[in-house]
Amino acid sequence: MKRLVQPLVTGAFAVVALTASPAIAAKKDAVENQSKEPKKIVDRRDPNYVRCRSEPIIGSLARKRRICMTNEEWAEYNEIGSRNSREFVEDSQPGFLKTTPD
């Protein structure tokens, strides 16, 4: 009886192993593909979230230029613009009122 049951059990395990391995491999490939694809960022406050803005083109009534940057790049863009405008205002003031940052 043992001699009849042992080959049947071994054969059953072999069949399960052979049929399950492609399914396991497919699941493993799917998990690897998901980890390679970047996830879409939905939090608007995330530094890597991309925002787009349309700016008018000077000299045209209808044309607009679309600019897309991440939140981090927009913050740097605004800081540079503020710094340039502050320098312009300070340079146009009379000499005795000119302030210098400490």
Q: For residue 44, is it within any domain?
A: no
Q: How many domains does one find in the chain?
A: 2
Token output for 98: 């000119």
Q: For residue 43, is it within any domain?
A: no
pLDDT tens digits for 21-60?
555 556 666 656 566 667 888 888 999 999 999 999 999 9
Q: Specify which residues 51 forms β-bridges with.
A: 69
Residue with tokens 């405008």: 85
Q: Which structural domain, as residue segments, surrounds residue 3?
A: 1-37
- The model's pTM is 0.52
**Alpha helices for 37-97 (secondary structure H):** 71-92
Same domain? 54 vs 33:
no
C-alpha angle with apex 23: 18 to 29, nearest 5 degrees? 125
Which has more pLDDT, 76 or 93? 76
Distance CA 83, CA 90 (A): 11
Pair 20, 28: CB distance under 8 Å: no
Same domain? 57 vs 93:
yes
pLDDT tens digits for 54-90?
999 999 999 999 999 999 999 999 999 999 999 999 8
Same domain? 33 vs 57:
no
